[in-house]
Structure 1
């Protein structure tokens, strides 16, 4: 009894303050003080800042000229509407059920408050009496709490304190709420407060606001709500957990019970609407007879709703979560993304995306019994960096139960870097050779310049990043018959490992790495690129999108633009938000890039490693890549308008993809040309393509030098002469020759040939085994035979054996190198008159 008396006295004081402060709208608005108590009340903060309501964010993609929704994200499913977009029935239901004197009080309903005080004294707690304006205040304060991160223990504590301060049961909180309500009434009209309340109120679960509630529970709009529907929804606001009508299994409010608790509250509200003449008797009777029959229409959210475009959607989301534009830290950015009501218009071209999805599905199964197989097709626009398509063989899911039960699903975006939800990348194989080609050309070498592509062991490389590389390295080729002297164009067309290592041995490995970085290349994990010799052949782990971006830079005159996925962002108020921008950098001189483009047309032409891929009639460059064990396969290509990368390989493990046949009765290694032919043909069909600019002859042909005649020179002298001319040399081994043994017998190319400066001239050394055939034409047969015999040859006649016959021709010809013992055929002139018969002959 003493406790009840104390509570009564305490609440009486509160009631006195409230009666003084809010007895009429006039006092509330003017702030008139009737006694000293009002001074305490006026000392409380008055104005409450109403922040932007949490609203869904929607991502859009391009379908031709149309922007179509791709996915929606929200922490609170809310669709704010204007006052005139809400049915009168819904407005009347809210007022009748929650605050009948809404339009007559100044923010605090004194009658309702006093009733609440008395109820509190009787029940021992603070209860009831909140006006619609007060409820609006409470929800506004709660919204501020909902925006707080709750990952750490400290954050959760701060969040709970905020919720308690906003909704807790205490006289202090109630007084502050009332003061805020009076301030709200000074700042906004009644209609503004009512629509604000209907937009902010919770309707159970993640459903907030009258429009989202109408759609979710009745598949209609707020404007079309009937009295029965409106009262049913307003009923939920009173007790969102127990009165919502989306759980048919609920034992207290389920469909089996006719949603009894909701109907009870609904009918109470309908009765109030009738009492205050917002319904006619007939309307009231019809409404209460109406059974509660919800038409639950869930609002799906998240990237899993985007189908085959889900990984692109995920990349968009991760882009925002990594961009400081959207908040100082990831928690803030996530909150802004899920609550900010953004309209995000992306670069995704749904027409190309459909081609990418269908092609991947056709050639790379979501799962395969013999390998942990993955496949990606992704493309960017040269000159802008806009990502046009991104598809992979896996189905997207973030649900642990799904991921643990089916290898068809994955949450990892295999096209992107790890910080954007991607993997650790994959070795890129020979696609990385383009950066050695870039440095080769930058250093003044040409496509026509030859190198020694023979298999040999290297013991050192220049690497200014590390101070040099030492050890032993013996690269091998992918196919036999690729050794010998090869020019840079042939090395590129056929992707000859030994040729590119030979080129790299004349360069700085550190500069090759810097060239890759200039084209935007980096490892998927963000670690530094390796510079060891094997990196020349593609041992760094890189994401497919990164390689597509680099090849776009080559096709764009050497100007590389970082990938972007967002064209435009509009916030909930309709204002533009600056999206993340692409950064374009001149990776190499345009002349170098254009020469690279010329070289990279080779692999797509007859005899190249991707022969038959380009059937468009437009200029296209490309490069295959195959790693050791054939476990990662690549084909990257570009026109001036679209660049695309195709990767198929082992996500884990080392299955040889030249020896398995998952689809089309062929191996992934053989199928990659077909995959990219389909993809790039579609890209050219929509975006076209221009001719690559003609590169300068000094980078294609190089400075031309005539090969000197080195016959008879010592090897050292011959090498010195070649070095002086800017040519390199290679040992061709011994050769049968008339030159003195140990001297130069011949060269390849032969003396007099025009070659590019820096080319390799093969030197053949004489073994001294040949002798020049002497000239015996014009001699008598007997004299000629004797001369040939003296030189180590034998003679035979092609016109009789008359010793006096005159030699008209010889084979081999005079001066021809031949081995001793070789028979020389002599053609004799017709024989002269015969000698007279001896005396007595014939009788």
Structure 2
């Protein structure tokens, strides 16, 4: 039994603890010296590279200024300059994360030692990374984001975040090297721009936007401390939802407040703020103003389908990357400002008239409404609207008849449908071939309705014989005359008149003429060229037809549709945007004769209803179209400045007879004659329109 006095026992324990601490201190000092010597010998060149940022897509207001349509990002980040970051943020970060930041050379060796001692003595792990080291780690993680291959990206991330001495030593070496070539101010700026603030929010500017609906420059002391608190543990200190309730009472943001108050105390200790400022901020409640950023095309509302087409264009255009993997990686990294061709005045008119005239859904009819407008001579897509709500969630599209992810205005390969029969709007290509072959608008053909049209010439596939199975009808009995001129057939859209014209032409030639105007099937298959195709049986996207009609109005020169005016990259330099390719589809004389006939359609033919409703009036060309049993109805036309195609269509199923169906705003079949004038009125008001050239007399006599 020990008789040692308690005081002696206590003294012996104290000496033993001191001896342990001294031993640990000696070991740590030796270890620190060894580590520093080893670290200095490692490579220290950190290639920072490009940070992931959000990309923005803009339209153009009437005054020429851009308006944000949507933003896209994997990481919501906006890089800002040092003077755009509040001093409160910088002082909060250094005080809480690295008080010796301005004194050490990249590695807080004593902080590392203190962390190691704490771990050895207390058994509780403690970090010792400087701000520079934390920045290095973030850079290494971000470099993984540039990899297009998912497996390589995951492997890279695992390596960059593994808990190992090798990784720590590499970070220390790179931090020392970074401090040799960068100023403290710049390292702190880059750290605050790269660090994560929870979820997909990265960088102090995006954090200020998201959590407090302000900018990094305008953050208050309390707000700055709350945001810096998140960096320590984004999940624990989040501000985008109150913490879980305890005993039925929500904790609010208690965890963040505790960390915030600690940071405020550190700022006071290191003399970054006054006692009065500290006390005032300490008593300030945490009141986030969560502001969800615009992300994805769904935020573009009625312009969402146009936005969707822009994104698909970027992902497929070589200007955005040499191959698909590179383009996807570029898109994921972001940082692009994309200025589109969308004209918000025309787009507003298109969205408004669509909402007024075509319902999003209709009982027993999968109804679709489409509007596409294209600039004449430029190919710039100025408006694009449809009657559905945009979604890319298959479950939503399947459950909600008002929603779809399919863009009815464009081709299947571009996220669109497989197209729609265009009806009589396609007849203009037979008219073009008729004129190309030396015929006049005044020339007549046998146009009586018959049950056997005989043989049609086809230089591609050989002569095509049509017996009793081919029996096209005219829309009205009074159109069943024996002979009609090409002009009369165009004005009144007489089916048998155009079949009679095709009988004297080459079916393959008609197809090639349509193709010369950029016309193609939406499903990617070759255009059908049988006799029935003359009347518009090919399924074609509305945007394709709008570009073709713009080609007629442009003296026969057709320009491919484009959606992007310019792209500004992350470094502020412009990247070449996709260009419109313009080709001479028909001679200016043929185009003038086509326009002459199509103007008569507007003044005294099937398009007159649209014409007299358009205000202000300018010279316009046009053509109507109706498919069998009035399932789809079209109005297509142009001034010398803008071409527009409007349609009410059956998306799937059997559809309804539009002449026997009524929407809230009137007959379904006449909705086209309410929508087209609304869009073209906006176009005429903004862009005006010139007279179309007179055709040669040989084409009209």
TM-score, with structure 2 as normaliser = 0.91
Aligned-residue offset at 1:123: 8.6
- What pairs up with 1:555-574 in 2 under 5 angstroms? 555-574=553-572
CA contact (8 A) 1:477 1:498 kept: yes
Question: How far, CA to CA, are the matches of 2:325 and 2:122 in structure 1?
Answer: 42
Q: 1:595 to 1:658 in 2, by over 3 A?
A: same
Aligned residue for 1:479?
476
Question: How far, CA to CA, are the matches of 1:256 and 1:451 in structure 2?
Answer: 84
Question: How far, CA to CA, are the matches of 1:45 and 1:524 in structure 2?
Answer: 56
Question: How far, CA to CA, are the matches of 1:14 and 1:166 in structure 2?
Answer: 26
Deviations 1:749-797 (A, max 9, x none): xxxxxxxxxxxxxxxxxxxxxxxxxxxxxxxxxxxxxxxxxxxxxxxxx
Question: How far, CA to CA, are the matches of 1:520 and 1:445 in structure 2?
Answer: 23
Aligned residue for 1:629?
629
Aligned-residue offset at 1:323: 1.0
Question: How far, CA to CA, are the matches of 1:15 and 1:661 in structure 2?
Answer: 88
Question: How far, CA to CA, are the matches of 2:426 and 2:643 in structure 1?
Answer: 16
Match of 1:411 among 392, 405, 413: 405
Is 1:611–2:608 an aligned residue pair? yes
Aligned residue for 2:19?
none
Aligned-residue offset at 1:101: 0.9
Question: How far, CA to CA, are the matches of 2:561 and 2:248 in structure 1?
Answer: 51
Aligned residue for 2:52?
54
Structure ID, larger Rg: 1
Aligned residues: 669
The runs of 5 or more residues in structure 1 that have no matched partner are 1-8, 23-33, 150-154, 702-843
CA contact (8 A) 1:644 1:680 kept: yes
Question: How far, CA to CA, are the matches of 1:652 and 1:134 in structure 2?
Answer: 59
Aligned-residue offset at 1:194: 0.1
SS at match of 1:388: strand
Q: 1:14 to 1:441 in 2, by over 3 A?
A: farther
SS at match of 2:105: coil
CA contact (8 A) 2:133 2:171 kept: yes
Aligned-residue offset at 1:115: 2.7
Aligned residue for 1:661?
662
SS at match of 2:143: helix
CA contact (8 A) 1:464 1:510 kept: yes
CA contact (8 A) 2:230 2:238 kept: yes
SS at match of 1:582: coil
Aligned-residue offset at 1:556: 0.4
Aligned residue for 1:594?
592
CA contact (8 A) 1:253 1:260 kept: no
Q: 1:123 to 1:598 in 2, by over 3 A?
A: farther
CA contact (8 A) 2:309 2:415 kept: yes
Question: How far, CA to CA, are the matches of 2:249 and 2:201 in structure 1?
Answer: 20
Aligned-residue offset at 1:639: 0.9
Aligned residue for 2:9?
none
CA contact (8 A) 1:63 1:349 kept: yes
CA contact (8 A) 2:648 2:671 kept: no
Aligned-residue offset at 1:354: 1.3
- What pairs up with 1:252-651 in 2 under 5 angstroms? 256-456=250-450, 457-472=452-467, 473-483=470-480, 484-606=482-604, 608-615=605-612, 616-651=616-651
CA contact (8 A) 2:243 2:251 kept: no
Deviations 1:465-502 (A, max 9, x none): 32343443332222213231111111111111112112
Match of 1:191 among 182, 185, 194: 185
Q: 1:17 to 1:619 in 2, by over 3 A?
A: farther
Aligned-residue offset at 1:255: 8.8
Aligned-residue offset at 1:529: 0.9
- What pairs up with 1:701-780 in 2 under 5 angstroms? 701=701
Deviations 1:521-557 (A, max 9, x none): 1111222111111111111111111101000000000
Question: How far, CA to CA, are the matches of 2:85 and 2:523 in structure 1?
Answer: 51
Question: How far, CA to CA, are the matches of 2:432 and 2:124 in structure 1?
Answer: 79
Aligned residue for 2:690?
690
Deviations 1:293-329 (A, max 9, x none): 2222221312222221222222222221221211244
Aligned residue for 1:830?
none
Q: Alignment RMSD, CA only? A: 2.4
SS at match of 2:479: coil
SS at match of 1:645: strand
Q: 1:123 to 1:517 in 2, by over 3 A?
A: farther
CA contact (8 A) 1:321 1:334 kept: yes
Question: How far, CA to CA, are the matches of 1:13 and 1:577 in structure 2?
Answer: 57
SS at match of 1:64: coil
Deviations 1:89-131 (A, max 9, x none): 1111100111111111111111122233445557999861111
SS at match of 1:78: coil
CA contact (8 A) 2:617 2:684 kept: no
Question: How far, CA to CA, are the matches of 1:227 and 1:642 in structure 2?
Answer: 54
